[in-house]
Amino acid sequence: MLLSTESLIRLLVLLLYVPVCLAAYRLLLPRLSPSAKRLAGGMLAAQVVVILLAAQIQPATRFEYWLWNFHEEWNIPATFAAVQLAAVGGVALLASWFARTEAALSRWYWVGIGLVFLFLAVDEYLALHEAIPEWELRYIALGAAVVAATLALAWRSAPSVRKWHASLLFGLAMSVAGAMLVNALPIPCDGLGPLRFEGCLEFYFLEESLEFLGIWLTLVALLGQFSDALPRATRKVRRLLYALPALAILAIFLNSLTPRLEIRLLAQPASAEFRSGIHLRGFHIERSGQATTARLYLAARQADFMGLGVSIHLVDQVSGESIASRDEWVDRQHGVWLLGPDYMPMYRQTMRVTLPPQTPPNRALWVVLTLWRWKEGEYARMKVIGSELQLLDDRQVVLGELALPSDAPAPSPTSLAVFDNGFTLEEAELPESAQAGDALPLRFAWRSDVDGIEDHIQFLHFVHDESGAWWGYDQQPLGRRLPTRLWYSGLGDSETWLVPLPEDLAPGRYALYTGLYRAGDLVRVPATDRRGRVWLDQRVLLGSVFVE
């Protein structure tokens, strides 16, 4: 007999739900208070509706496929899973707060269970575990702690209460089986034992159904303890109980609005539009050691974010090579699916790029953004159709620049010149003679006691001792690798210039002067020598060179 994989999975889900729900309605729900029974029944009904719709809807677009797929994040099934987990945590906290006559051990147990499940609810929707190293082991340890606490409390409880602890443990076992065990099963193709079917049997629908039903049993267990502790709940308590799912949904809606608030308070406004209507509205860049974190704020129709990827590259400004990069699919946790595919939410994307250990310090790097889609077997970068930001090309937007700092040597006690902008020329090395038409090597050692904010150019003046004629040469003090706008307090570095002397430079001895001027207005920066005397004409005398 040849079966479709969809029919087989639906049959397995049916065989799971029918006996568990019948047992719960016969053994557990009759012992709940009326308000608790209504909440449990409503959550189960909503769960069944979500499962039936996810199984029956035939998606016509990629957005609809994402909206109902149990294997995706931030959609209707994921939202319901988070709401159900939040309801479990809320019931436990309500019981701990209002059941003042209960033993302190029970109330502390409910507080712990409530906090655990509220954390799981947040993690279910925001996928916090993806940033936790070895999260599987940590979650197993957390689950073992919950089981141990439940068994210890059940041991000290009356026999009539232990059924709730058993229900809680059974529900946890089902949810763990769905979250870890089923997901670890090999995916059979073409057949399973005597059964033959078309294609491969993917278990994620069964996996999520196990999690749904397991958490519902956990909710029933907490509602049972709530009912025993508060058999005659006040109207205020009943209203709070019914409000738990609504409060969880409200929290998810508020989460969708946080990027719009953050972009006003924490981000640098930006305007860049990519093809397909993707807009960069703002960004924020932070650096810590070897790591650079870029927080992006993107806006577009929800449907346009399907299959969209983001890349951040740290690009060397001299060579144009990418030193480090990070590629991610767009995080759609801030979408509000109830408003449809044409709704334009603001998404926050946080990306962390770590420079390799061998990266040389004191080099200017661009922070570059690209967007891409998986298209015809390759990652196709999207074209920028309008931007107020600098572009490297029509597909690369420059968000900012940075330099990896180095450990600076101790300041020299015999500096040549201290400039008013906080830069110090500590040393200068020059040869005694040079040949016209050759490259003259000059080494300059610099220190900065401030963070740079603008570009400065260093000039060289060659002044002939006899005729007074002069020739000049200008470039950035440390070359293109580190413009002064990226200098930082504590910088200590040197650069060797190779100055091309003109072939027709008159022979003789030349006095060599240097100094700084601002690139923006060409105004020279005043300087003093090591004794505090002002250098005349804002020029520092380095020595002399004989040109042959």
Decide if pLDDT at 1 tops 60.
no
Both structure tokens of 30:
């009759």
Counting DSSP H helices and E strands in the chain, the numbers are 10, 24
Q: Identify the pLDDT of residue 186.
A: 65
* Whole-angstrom distance, CA of residue 469 vs CA of residue 508: 11
Q: Are strands 378-381 and 433-434 parallel, antiparallel or unpaired?
A: unpaired
Question: For residue 54, what pLDDT band results from cuts at 50, 70 and 90?
Answer: confident
Q: Identify the pLDDT of residue 58.
A: 85
Using a pLDDT cut of 70, give the percent of the chain over it: 95
CATH number for region 417-547: 2.60.40.770
Using a pLDDT cut of 90, give the percent of the chain over it: 64
Q: Identify the pLDDT of residue 402.
A: 93
* Spatial strand order in the sheet of 189-192: 2-4, 195-200, 189-192
The DSSP call for residue 178 is I
* Whole-angstrom distance, CA of residue 369 vs CA of residue 371: 7
Cα angle 253, 71, 131; round to 5? 70
R_g (Cα) of the chain, nearest Å = 34
Class in CATH terms, 268-403:
mainly beta
Decide if pLDDT at 427 tops 80.
yes
Decide if pLDDT at 106 tops 70.
yes
Q: Identify the pLDDT of residue 374.
A: 83
* Whole-angstrom distance, CA of residue 364 vs CA of residue 479: 10
The ranges assigned to domains in the chain are 2-255, 268-403, 417-547
Q: Identify the pLDDT of residue 178.
A: 76
Phi, psi of 74 (to 5 degrees): 60, 25
Q: Which residues of 65-77 are buried (b: 16+ CB within 10 A; e: fewer)?
A: ebbbbbeebbbbb
Both structure tokens of 132:
């936790």
Q: Identify the pLDDT of residue 238.
A: 87
Q: What's the mean pLDDT in 153-164?
A: 88
Residue whose pair of structure tokens reads 């479990």 in the numeric block: 88
Q: What's the mean pLDDT in 368-381?
A: 88
* Whole-angstrom distance, CA of residue 228 vs CA of residue 31: 9
Q: CB–CB of 205/9 below 8 Å? A: yes
Comparing 426 with 104, the larger pLDDT belongs to 426
* Whole-angstrom distance, CA of residue 396 vs CA of residue 314: 12
Question: For residue 156, what pLDDT band results from cuts at 50, 70 and 90?
Answer: confident
* 500, burial (CB in 10 Å: exposed 0-12, middle 13-18, buried 19+): exposed
Q: CB–CB of 353/312 below 8 Å? A: yes
Query: Quick one: which of 60, 58, 57, 63 has its CA closest to 342?
Result: 63
* 236, burial (CB in 10 Å: exposed 0-12, middle 13-18, buried 19+): exposed
Question: Which residues lie closer than 8 Å to 390 by C-beta, 6 or more apart?
Answer: 397, 398
Question: For residue 519, what pLDDT band results from cuts at 50, 70 and 90?
Answer: very high
Phi, psi of 167 (to 5 degrees): -65, -40
Question: For residue 406, what pLDDT band results from cuts at 50, 70 and 90?
Answer: confident
* 352, burial (CB in 10 Å: exposed 0-12, middle 13-18, buried 19+): middle
* Whole-angstrom distance, CA of residue 56 vs CA of residue 50: 10
Question: Which residues lie closer than 8 Å to 477 by C-beta, 6 or more apart?
Answer: 423, 444, 446, 456, 458, 484, 495, 516
Decide if pLDDT at 200 tops 90.
no
Sign of CA dihedral 515, 519, 520, 521: positive
Q: Are strands 456-464 and 470-475 parallel, antiparallel or unpaired?
A: antiparallel
Which contiguous run of DSSP H or E holds residue 176? helix 162-176
Question: Which residues lie closer than 8 Å to 500 by C-beta, 6 or more apart?
Answer: 439, 440, 473
Over the chain, what is the mean pLDDT?
Answer: 90
Per-residue pLDDT of 447-477, as tens digits, reads 999 999 999 999 999 999 999 999 999 999 9
Q: What's the mean pLDDT in 288-314?
A: 92
* Whole-angstrom distance, CA of residue 496 vs CA of residue 458: 13
* Whole-angstrom distance, CA of residue 145 vs CA of residue 133: 19
Q: In the beta sheet, which residues pair with residue 427? A: 445
